[in-house]
Amino acid sequence: MATGGDPAEKHTKRLAMSQQTLDDAYAAPANFLEIDVVNAETHGIANKRYTDYEVRMRTNLPIFTLKESTVRRRYSDFEWLRTELERDSKILVPPLPGKALKRLLPFRSDDGIFEDEFIEERRAALEVFVNKVSGHPLAQNEKCLHMFLQDTAVDKNYIPGKVKNN
């Protein structure tokens, strides 16, 4: 192969690679977004009971104004997020864990949706859901996702739109 005058050779030349150091290999990732759904708590009595979950977020992505946040969310808040993303974004939104309608039937011998095992299964499934959604670059620009992850209360009357990256 001739060298020198071929303009295509200049554009296809390999990049110079450097050896990775241990510091580079074990350093914090360049961009990360970590979301945990933890500490399920059941509140109320009788038919006024509900369970909410602590949603913890850590990130260094510039699109997020807060780099760490902790909020509490109910299952209905996850449903709201999914509905908003389906309506406003161009992404295929994964399904939520089911509503467990059989567990809501009266005269059960157990606590239904307030059983520890069910709450833990739902918590794990909600964590998978929110990580799939928030990992999508297009979803990261949606106001509803930012509100869900970072605001103490979800304003369901917000004006949908994109987040401006400053």
Q: Residue 19: its pLDDT value, please? A: 80
**Structure confidence at residue 55 as a pLDDT band (50, 70, 90):** very high
114 torsion bin: left (phi>0), alpha (psi -120 to 50), beta (else): alpha
Q: Residue 101: its pLDDT value, please? A: 46
Lowest-pLDDT range of 10-24, 48-62, 124-138 = 10-24
CA dihedral 112, 113, 119, 123 (to 10 degrees): 150
User: What's the rounded mean pLDDT across residues 138-143?
Assistant: 91
